[in-house]
Amino acid sequence: MNKYFTSLILLLTITMTTHADVRAELDSNSVELGDMVTYSLSVSGENITRPTIQRICDSDVISTASQTSMQVINGAISKSYILSYKFLPQKSCKIDPVEVDINGVKEFSNALDLKVNPVSAAKDKDFILELSSSKKSVYVGEPFEVTLRFKQKQNSQAVDSKFTPPELKGFWVKK
């Protein structure tokens, strides 16, 4: 009887320590162009090899963060990690599952969809600031024109709306 009890305890201990889970989530599934998004991987298990993620949705990862927590419940130790990656998406995309090595076993996160909407300028705004360029790409030394357009609703009140041009070497400002 003692052999069976010992085997049962050993089996339960092995299954508790080999429990592994990888879950991915976004702080928002729908954002406007120019908004920063945080992609988080929640990983639980022992002996975790953290994934190297440098690009998400064809955008460079701007910053990373990690959080570690450990729980001891009735003598059983469980670890979990939250790995966060911030990036600026330029277009809607599907984020593929990420592979994480846990206890020598490859686990995969869930896939996520991210929708990037164009910037919406509300028509009821009192002020609108627009920036446009004459060219999409330039080489070093090639001249190009940048237009900064400030729009103000006819009856809106502004305390001070004068333009102070930037003091940049090699730039010419025309009012």
Per-residue DSSP letter, 29: S
Q: What is the pLDDT along the chain (175 residues), one digit of tens a residue?
A: 556 555 545 444 444 444 678 999 999 899 888 888 999 999 988 788 888 999 999 999 999 999 988 888 888 777 889 999 999 999 999 999 999 998 888 999 999 999 999 877 666 677 777 788 888 888 887 888 888 777 777 777 777 767 777 777 777 666 6
Complete domains list, the chain, with CATH: 18-117 (2.60.40)
As a whole number of angstroms, the distance between CA 92 and CA 123 comes to: 25
Three-class SS state of 10: helix
Residue whose structure tokens are 């052999």: 3
As a whole number of angstroms, the distance between CA 150 and CA 39 comes to: 35
Residue 97's pLDDT is 93
Residue 1's pLDDT is 54
Q: Which helix (H) or strand (E) is 36 found in, with range? A: none
Residue 115's pLDDT is 94
Predicted model pTM: 0.60
Q: Which helix (H) or strand (E) is 31 found in, with range? A: strand 30-32
As a whole number of angstroms, the distance between CA 81 and CA 43 comes to: 5
Render 79-139 in DSSP notation, one character per residue.
EEEEEEEEE--SS-EEEPPPEEEETTEEEE---EEEEEEPPP--TT-SEEEEEEES-S---
